Amino acid sequence: MTTATETKKVTDSIAGESLELPLNRQRIALLLAFAATTVFAIPLHWHLAGAVTGLIALGLIMRDPEPALRRRMGVLLGCIALLAAIDINSSTSNRNFLLIGIPFFLVVFVPSLILGKTDPGVIRYRFWPATWRRSDFIYTLISIPLAWAVLKFYWAVNPEQYLQWNLPAEPDEGEIKRLFVGINCVGIWDELFFVNTVFAVLRSLFRFRVANALQAVVYTAVLYDMAFIGIGPLIIYLFAWTQGSMFEKSESLLWVLIVHLIVDFFLVAAIVHSYYPSYGLDFLWRHGL
């Protein structure tokens, strides 16, 4: 039977407050099984192992006494299953836009639709910050040289990273524009799914560090599968953690989207420069894009 305190917690959670459920052995096992399913099924493509850990996670979800956890973690596990069923890659072809774009849309739209009815307030599309904080401005400004430096380091350690994206042998402004649009669309989706959906749902149930650590695993797994090889997982995990931290403090999408699009600008510039050394950071306007 649900106590008055538990009922109040659920009500508060629906209003946007976290339940911050205690981590007993069963819930720790659930989170580990969820993380293992994500890693096995998406980047490693160990579908049998992913299915086994997924069933374990599902069983633990169904056995949990907290109804909010059963609903919300069940939705997230369904999202992982859908992403595991598709070929996540960096192709910018029209066909791939549809093959990836539709599932990507569904894992953002369906959780919002379901939880919007059962758990309103858990997933909120709040663009503007509730309060304007100086630290958000400072971090966003710092992200400009930081993104450039990290990508330079990444390219130095993994010089063939740019080959994860395809561009023609000779510069083609149309293909460069398509790459720019594609990467930025994925970047926006990253924040809508990993932060505004996965992190938000996990944060509605658990403490910040637990929720952020797990969303960063999902973030890293998907982007590693898509393109980021070598030391990419380490860089992506740290980036995902900082994005979750900024979202936690600002309670808005504005800053995480701006930072991500800054990173994407330098990412496209690095890819284009690797294919065409005469192209620099001015590739967008110098070549009429």
Tokens found for residue 115: 């939880």
* Nearest Cα residue to 251 out of 7, 18, 9: 18
CA Rg value for the chain: 20
Q: What is the DSSP letter of 121?
A: T
List strand residue ranges (DSSP E) for the chain, in order. none
Structure tokens of 77?
């596990």
Q: For residue 214, which of 203, 223, 228 has the smallest C-alpha distance?
A: 203
Q: How many CB atoms lie within 10 A of CB 150?
A: 16
Q: Sign of dihedral through CA atoms 127, 128, 133, 138?
A: positive
**Per-residue confidence of the chain (289 residues) as pLDDT tens digits?**
444 444 444 444 333 589 999 999 999 999 999 999 999 999 999 999 999 999 999 999 999 999 999 999 999 999 999 999 999 999 999 999 999 999 999 999 999 999 999 999 999 999 988 888 899 999 999 999 999 999 999 999 999 999 999 999 998 888 999 999 999 999 999 999 999 999 999 999 999 999 999 999 999 999 999 999 999 999 999 999 999 999 999 889 999 999 999 999 999 999 999 999 988 777 666 544 4
Total Cβ atoms within 10 A of residue 78: 16
**Do the Cβ atoms of 72 and 203 come closer than 8 Å?**
no
To which H or E segment does residue 217 belong?
helix 208-226
Statement: the pTM of the whole predicted model exceeds 0.85: yes
Task: Work out the burial of residue 103: count CB atoms within 10 Å of its CB; fewer than 13 is exposed, 13-18 middle, 19 or more buried.
Answer: middle
C-beta of residue 79 within 8 angstroms of C-beta of residue 121: no
What does the block give as tokens for 30? 């659930």
Question: Which DSSP symbol is given to 206?
Answer: S
Question: What pLDDT does 130 receive?
Answer: 80
The Cα-based distances of 135 to 7, 66, 67 in angstroms read 36, 36, 37
CA distances from 195 to 20, 146, 154, 255 (A): 18, 21, 23, 12
The pLDDT assigned to 13 comes to: 38
User: Cα separation of 250 and 240, whole Å?
Assistant: 15
Residue 173 has a pLDDT of 87
Q: What is the pLDDT of residue 4?
A: 43
